């Protein structure tokens, strides 16, 4: 199936899916169904007892809110202390989110998560611009990319296919239908959470408690 057909089918199915905001156990979902791989972007110690897999779309306002309001405290209290690690995976809800994810994929090393945060912080500006790709190009220039590099990143077919395949795998493994969605040591959480609510989820997942 061609990339555009996959994206159209996936987005069409989302329109029929009810929005949920409850902690649920995903029937048949196991942590090993979505193992951490060498291509994953990971924040935190590989020895952390809690693995948080985040599925997010760059154009999702609730994802932006999570990164602005909840994640900073989770980083401080859980990730930086070695209690948890975050595995970030793109789940693009539309073509623009797909291009933004492809752009972020070009950023190497520790700068990747900073760039993702920059995209989420500026989401309301670039995602709603008359020329959203042009707005993304401006952000890319601030990150040191020239126009040629930008065009190469957002138009790389191999990266676009990989990101869409990642979305398909998320749906197959955990029935991910909306963003943000999280897999915390094998349990699925749908929807954004306050800092307190998310820390309660992590406390429940902590093998030491």
Q: Examine the pLDDT at 5 and tell me if it is beyond 90.
A: no
Instruction: Return the pLDDT at 17.
Output: 36
pLDDT tens column, 30-43:
444 456 777 899 99
Instruction: Return the pLDDT at 13.
Output: 46
Instruction: Return the pLDDT at 134.
Output: 97
Instruction: Return the pLDDT at 38.
Output: 79
Average pLDDT over every residue of 78-87: 97
pLDDT tens column, 116-140:
999 999 999 999 999 999 999 999 9
**Domain 3-205, classified CATH 3.40.30.10, yes or no:** yes
The pTM of this model reads 0.85
Q: Are 174 and 34 in contact (CB under 8 A)?
A: yes
User: Contacts for 75-82 with beta carbons within 8 Å, 24 or more apart?
Assistant: 75/43, 77/199, 78/50, 78/199, 78/202, 79/43, 79/44, 79/48, 80/44, 82/44, 82/45, 82/47, 82/48
Instruction: Return the pLDDT at 9.
Output: 55
Instruction: Return the pLDDT at 152.
Output: 97
Instruction: Return the pLDDT at 36.
Output: 79
Calculate what percentage of the chain has a pLDDT beyond 90. Answer: 78
Q: Is the CA virtual torsion 145, 58, 74, 186 positive or negative?
A: negative
Instruction: Return the pLDDT at 155.
Output: 96
pLDDT tens column, 44-80:
999 999 999 999 999 999 999 999 999 999 999 999 9
Instruction: Name the phi and psi angles at 201, rounded to 5.
Output: -60, -45
pLDDT tens column, 134-179:
999 999 999 999 999 999 999 999 999 999 999 999 999 999 999 9
Instruction: Return the pLDDT at 34.
Output: 53
Instruction: Return the pLDDT at 208.
Output: 80
What single string gives the DSSP state of each residue in 16-63? TSPP--SEEPPTT--GGGS---TTSEEES-TT-SEEEEEEE-TT-HHH
Mean pLDDT of the chain: 87
């Amino acid at each position: 199936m061609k990339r555009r057909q996959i994206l159209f089918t996936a987005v069409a199915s989302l329109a029929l899916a009810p929005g949920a905001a409850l902690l649920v156990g995903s029937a048949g979902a196991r942590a090993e169904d979505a193992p951490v791989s060498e291509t994953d972007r990971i924040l935190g110690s590989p020895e952390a007892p809690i693995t948080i897999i985040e599925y997010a779309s760059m154009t999702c306002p609730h994802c932006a809110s999570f990164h602005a309001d909840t994640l900073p405290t989770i980083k401080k209290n859980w990730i930086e202390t070695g209690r948890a690690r975050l595995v970030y995976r793109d789940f693009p809800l539309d073509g623009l989110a797909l291009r933004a994810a492809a752009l972020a994929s070009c950023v190497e090393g520790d700068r990747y998560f900073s760039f993702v945060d920059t995209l989420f912080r500026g989401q309301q500006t670039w995602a709603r611009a008359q020329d959203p790709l042009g707005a993304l190009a401006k952000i890319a220039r601030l990150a040191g990319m020239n126009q040629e590099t930008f065009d190469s990143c957002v138009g790389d077919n191999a990266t676009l296919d990989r990101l869409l395949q990642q979305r398909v795998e998320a749906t197959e493994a955990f029935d991910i239908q909306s963003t943000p969605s999280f897999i915390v040591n094998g349990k699925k959480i749908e929807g954004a959470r306050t800092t307190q609510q998310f820390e309660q989820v992590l406390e429940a997942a902590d093998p030491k408690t």
